[in-house]
Chains A and B, each alone.
Chain A
Amino acid sequence: MKSSRKWWLAAGFALAVPVVLAMVLVLGTARGIPAGEVEFPTTGAGTGPGELARLERTLDAQRPWGVFIIVDTVANRLQVRRGEDVIREAVCSTGTGSVLEDPATGKRWIFETPRGVRTVIGKRKDPVWVRPDWSFIEEGSDLPRNFKDRVDRETLGDWALDLGDGYMIHGTLFQRYLGRNVTHGCIRLGDEDLAFVAAATPVGASVLLF
């Protein structure tokens, strides 16, 4: 038993030494250089400054035209921009990222504000919210039999900007929760910011969410 242990120790030592030596060898010779010093593949295209300026103009033209909105779903901040200019910055609330599963059917919803590029497809004053199934399931309530029991005239505030697929920028009854991830995916704003955003943002404006 004792000699077997010795044998294993010796074998382990014999294996470890060359591995450690090899690693030390590599550690001793590897070096890091600033990424700015790495060369770019050569093309030999002979680009002139005029061509570069033309390309930069083309690139600038890819930015959303006119007024657009940026939503940061982690910091819960919304910006209204025109080109490089920030014309309004607001604290908002975005999605919790939580998952709800209907115990009866197993259907799942993810309450995440979608990232990507969307378009303001409509603007509504005094919007009415038609409560979807998940809002009842989340409360543990039965689904209403009548459509009128789904109609809610308070929750969305003064304006709703529709972004498609049920997502909206709208107001809130719970302004104290602005700056937090508490929504089901929509973007909530305080009253004054919502009024500004609704006035400044035309239908067709781009909304960049990240």
Chain B
Amino acid sequence: MIPTAAVAAEQPADSTAQAILDARAVFLRQEIELASGKPAYLVLDVSRGVLSVRRKHVELLAIPVTATVMVPGGGGDRRPVWPGSKFTLASALQEIERPRIDPPEKAEGDTTAAPVTVGDIQAARDRYLQAHPSRYRLTFDPGLEVEVLGFDPSHGEGGAGLGVRLGDAWRDLGHRLAGRERGLLLRVTMDEQLARRLYLTLEPGITLLIAPPDPR
């Protein structure tokens, strides 16, 4: 009985390690495919707690995040499984209105005319960046919703307040009443300026990869 127990104790550890090796291989093949093209892509490294924007395997932006998967009530104690390993953004992105430049003749008589000094130009640019959302929800295929929650670090790590939790509850309720299976909800908390920056960087149909831990 003792050897059997020892084998039984070792087997799950081996199979877990093998599963991580396999998942890592899938991830690397997918990143090779993405890095061979020009578009940007996102990589969420769950073990490092970093969401990065990459092109050609070069990390352009590394955003420290706290990533949590929300499991709806009634799901039992079963650990969730990622619904895929490569996700494509399906949500439409909000178009933010750009600052406008009016040529001088028009500007003279127009009180709404665009700025002409460098300070004003930069201020208009800053307003444009600030107009990007810091809290938003993105739908990825297959079956992954990503909720980005930007917080002001001077006010501590905001995370999911009552409003967010009520929103969750409302959506869960809607799915339950409609008898629909809700996709996995990944909640990503980050600095609000970086959340805006991330939104600016998103491109329609951008790919998100979830990086399994590096087994080495």
Q: Which A residues contact B (CB, under 8 angstroms)?
A: 19, 22-49, 51-52, 55-56, 58-60, 62-64, 68, 70, 72, 74, 81, 96-101, 103, 110-111, 115-117, 137-140, 174, 177, 180-182, 206, 208, 210
* Given contact pairs A27-B169, A33-B68, a sample of 9 additional A-B residue pairs in the complex whose CB atoms are under 8 Å apart: A32-B187, A33-B69, A38-B46, A47-B18, A52-B215, A98-B114, A100-B100, A182-B118, A210-B40
By the criterion CB–CB under 8 Å, are B82 and A26 in contact? no
- Is the C-beta of B57 less than 8 angstroms from some C-beta in chain A? yes
Taken together as a complex, chains A and B put the C-alpha atoms of A47 and B69 apart, in Å, by 27
Chain A hits for B39, CB < 8 A: 116
**Do A140 and B104 touch (CB < 8 A)?**
yes
Residue from the set A35, A60, A208 with the largest chain B CB neighbour count within 10 Å: A35
B38 within 8 A of A: yes
For B165, give the chain A residue with the smallest CB separation.
A27
In the complex, how many residue pairs between chain A and chain B have their CB atoms under 8 Å apart?
222
B128: interface (CB < 8 Å): yes
Q: Are B169 and A23 in contact (CB under 8 A)?
A: yes
Complex Cα–Cα for A117 and B37 (A): 10
B46, A35: Cβ atoms closer than 8 Å: yes
A47 CB to closest chain B CB, in angstroms?
4
Question: Cβ of B23 and Cβ of A35 under 8 Å apart?
Answer: no
14 residue pairs of the A-B complex, CB under 8 angstroms, read: A23-B166, A27-B169, A34-B46, A38-B82, A40-B20, A45-B26, A49-B215, A52-B215, A59-B32, A64-B58, A98-B124, A101-B100, A116-B40, A180-B118
